[in-house]
Amino acid sequence: MDTDVIVIGAGLAGLQCARRLQRNGHRVTVLEASDAVGGRVRTDVIDGFRCDRGFQVLNPAYPAVQDWIDVDALGLQEFGVGAVIHTSTSTTTLAHPLRHPEHALATLGSRHTPVSDLLAFARWIAPALRHSATGPRPAEDQTLRASFDAAGLTGRLRRDVLETFLAGVLADSSGESSANYVRLLVRCFALGAPGLPRGGMQALPEQMAQWLLEPVRLNTGARDLQHTADGVQVSTDAGTLRARAAVVAVGPQDLAALTEAPAVPTHGLTTWWFRSAELPQAGPFLMLDATRRGGGPAGPIWNTAVVSQAAPSYAPEGQHLIQATTLLDRPDGLAEEAEVRRDLERLYQRSTAGWELLTRHVVEHTLPVQPPPLRDASPQRVGERVLIAGDHRDHGSIQGALVSGDQAAQSVTRLLAG
């Protein structure tokens, strides 16, 4: 045997899996097809700007992050817990009243937050608070849209704020995602202060990879996975490896290439990254466009932020980094640059002529489709000695990927002991 366990994929799930296996006393070899660790959590550094491959944030309130990540070492730079709501007649900052007392009056008195909606929101989130340890019950799950209706959450808080914000978080504007999945995310948003590591989001997987005794084998894609009499055999361009067991921790779209498990459908988004010498908006908040009657944006952009306002390390001194997100499930998800600029000018109410496009990331497979009912974390055994890990086994998030990787490792340890 070349090693005890081969982990295929060095995204967050694969890295946590390898780390747990190592702690459990196994020799682990991690194979990664691309040129760096991180999977969907990668950062391009362009002219000193840190452009994550798709805008995302790290929430330190995720239990798995608290348990397994050295958040202090990442130097998290916090976003404001709230959002700027843009409509055709106003631009209003809504923020967590305890975290941002300076915005408390405007937030509670806003037309976007009528009392009836706030009460309905409390009814909606209650299952996630009642069952905080285990998560809301699968039997009670339904689509996000139906759950809002059932809670009586039908007013402006839903239309102007929640649906627009959540569509960007989920890369899904359909309202068909599992309500329990969304409740878990919203609960963590309320408890934590999501932010960006000083070195970019990729600092997270890089930290995890550092803890491994055997370095991840980069540019080493697994081509084929076979069972043998006493374990598994993985073929790569660099040769064949034999081990006692394997964990397939590839993304949802790559699952079918190596296992008999079907590929999991995904939602996608596009992130545009611009640089500017002028500061277009003060404040470390995400801006949501709620201009359209009935909710949602009037153009292709669902949310935008001056990322370097929250995370100064993302731009060189005196410069600003702006992200804008469009959704691939919308007809204008792949809008041209001119259209995106027009939309940004409407939202920030200024010209973007002096802004320079740094890059655009089209992330076709951002998150697995997550219909109700939300599954319990379930490492799936797809062969005598092969398991699957990844956010698609738990739920689509950093938390879900870490938990899934950890659980797969524990299952492998039991398997090898048995």
Ligand X SMILES: Cc1cc2nc3c(=O)[nH]c(=O)nc-3n(C[C@H](O)[C@H](O)[C@H](O)COP(=O)(O)OP(=O)(O)OC[C@H]3O[C@@H](n4cnc5c(N)ncnc54)[C@H](O)[C@@H]3O)c2cc1C
C-alpha span between 215 and 250 (Å, rounded): 18
Give min distance, CB of 317 to ligand X, in A: 27
Instruction: Report which residue type is found at 223.
Output: R
Q: Map the footprint of ligand X across residues 331-390, applying CB under 6 A.
A: 363, 366-367, 390
Q: Does 231 bind ligand X (CB under 6 A)?
A: no
Reference 377, options 349, 361, 396, 364; nearest CA is: 396
Give min distance, CB of 166 to ligand X, in A: 12
Q: Does 284 bind ligand X (CB under 6 A)?
A: no
Work out which of 76, 216, 222, 246 binds ligand X, going by CB under 6 A: 222
Q: Does 195 bind ligand X (CB under 6 A)?
A: no
C-alpha span between 6 and 4 (Å, rounded): 7
Work out which of 10, 51, 247, 305 binds ligand X, going by CB under 6 A: 10
Work out which of 21, 50, 54, 306 binds ligand X, going by CB under 6 A: 54
320-327 and 303-306 beta bridge pairing: antiparallel
Work out which of 19, 20, 26, 40 binds ligand X, going by CB under 6 A: 40
Work out which of 57, 182, 212, 315 binds ligand X, going by CB under 6 A: 57
Whether the CB-CB separation of 55 and 213 falls below 8 Å is answered with: no
Q: Which stretch binds ligand X (CB under 6 A): 53-61, 113-121, 124-132, 159-167?
A: 53-61
Kindly list the distances between the CA atom of residue 305 and the CA atoms of 189, 285, 308, 343, 401, in Å, as whole numbers in the listed order.
17, 7, 9, 13, 26
Q: Does 286 bind ligand X (CB under 6 A)?
A: no
- Tell me the site size for ligand X, rule CB under 6 A: 36
Q: Encoding tokens for residue 26?
A: 């196994």
C-beta of 92 vs 399, nearer to ligand X: 399
Check whether the bond before 205 is cis (ω within 30° of 0). Answer: no
C-alpha span between 112 and 396 (Å, rounded): 28
C-beta of 185 vs 347, nearer to ligand X: 185
Q: Does 235 bind ligand X (CB under 6 A)?
A: no
Q: Which stretch binds ligand X (CB under 6 A): 54-62, 105-113, 277-285, 329-337?
A: 54-62
- DSSP H or E stretch at residue 6: strand 3-8
With tokens 């491994």, the residue in question is 212
Q: Does 322 bind ligand X (CB under 6 A)?
A: no
C-beta of 192 vs 280, nearer to ligand X: 192
Whether the CB-CB separation of 381 and 45 falls below 8 Å is answered with: no
3-state secondary structure of 75: coil
Q: Does 233 bind ligand X (CB under 6 A)?
A: no
Q: Which stretch binds ligand X (CB under 6 A): 152-160, 238-246, 247-255, 297-305?
A: 247-255
Give min distance, CB of 119 to ligand X, in A: 28
Reference 6, options 296, 317, 222, 324; nearest CA is: 222
- DSSP H or E stretch at residue 358: strand 356-368
Can you point out the beta strands (E) in 87-221?
91-95, 195-196
Q: Which stretch binds ligand X (CB under 6 A): 12-20, 128-136, 148-156, 348-356?
A: 12-20
Burial bucket for residue 174 (CB in 10 Å: 0-12, 13-18, 19+): middle
C-beta of 71 vs 150, nearer to ligand X: 71
Whether the CB-CB separation of 411 and 23 falls below 8 Å is answered with: no
Work out which of 12, 81, 344, 412 binds ligand X, going by CB under 6 A: 12
DSSP 172: -
Q: Map the footprint of ligand X across residues 134-193, applying CB under 6 A.
A: none
Work out which of 83, 157, 250, 374 binds ligand X, going by CB under 6 A: 250
Q: Does 82 bind ligand X (CB under 6 A)?
A: no
Binding site for ligand X (CB under 6 A): 8-14, 31-34, 39-41, 54, 56-57, 221-222, 249-251, 254, 258, 269, 363, 366-367, 390-391, 396-401
